[in-house]
Amino acid sequence: MEGGDQNSITRAYVGLGSNVGDRAGYLLLAIHGMMRAGLPIKRLSSVYETEPVDLREQPRFLNMVAELEGALPPPEAMLRALLHIERELGRHRQVARGPRTIDLDLLLYADLQLRTELLILPHPRLHLRRFVLTPLAEIAPLTIHPSFGKTVRQLLAEVNDESAVRLWRPARDRQP
């Protein structure tokens, strides 16, 4: 599947995270940025406060997942739009996996498996991270990971990541 056929309905999931400044504000600005970019957000998970995983000496994150559904741009074009939003919101990539105003990760794009210089789908660490699997399982528990053939709910039950993931703000209305 090439993805992005303007006449077809495609579903994708984007992970959002922030651990600098007004974390909740940056999540909201990123959601608005995605809508301005024409990315059709269908629903949003709750917001979770999470421990940093890779570089532990940094502030806690707020994380959530957005489900996009509709006539989506091709995956690499979507990634470029997400990177543009990150830059607009002051994301600087000086320290790998370090503190950030906003982090937008394309997690899944339909059932596409892709490996290019720019993008790997599904996200290569999706199945290893409780802070991604928890909000994703909230809104898409039965979605199948195309590489493993398991549901998101199954991946969450099996993940070895013991980092703390705490509900911070429940989704009141899952619509953006």
What pLDDT does 175 receive?
Answer: 66
Residue 1 lies in a domain: no
What pLDDT does 57 receive?
Answer: 81
Residue type (1 letter), 150: K
Cα(101)–Cα(86) distance, integer angstroms = 8
Residue 137 lies in a domain: yes
How many domains is the chain partitioned into structurally? Answer: 1
pLDDT string in tens for the chain (176-residue length)? 444 555 689 999 999 999 999 999 999 999 999 999 999 999 999 999 999 987 778 899 999 999 999 999 999 999 999 999 999 998 877 667 778 999 999 999 999 999 999 999 999 999 999 999 999 999 999 999 999 999 999 999 999 999 999 999 998 766 66
For the record, the structure tokens of 126 come out as 């999706």
Active-site annotation, residues: 91, 100, 103, 105
**Letter string b/e over residues 96-128, b meaning 16 or more CB atoms within 10 A of that residue's CB:** eeebbbbbbbbbbbbebebeeeebebbbeebbe
- Expressed as residue numbers, the domain containing 114 is 10-169
Residue 53 lies in a domain: yes
What pLDDT does 7 receive?
Answer: 60
Residue 30 lies in a domain: yes
What CATH number does the domain containing 55 carry? 3.30.70.560
Cα(153)–Cα(24) distance, integer angstroms = 26
List the Cα angle 13/99/94 in 5-degree steps: 100
Residue 175 lies in a domain: no
For 41-72, what is each residue's pLDDT tens digit?
Answer: 999 999 999 999 877 788 999 999 999 999 99
Which residue is listed with tokens 């090439």? 2
- DSSP letter, residue 72: P
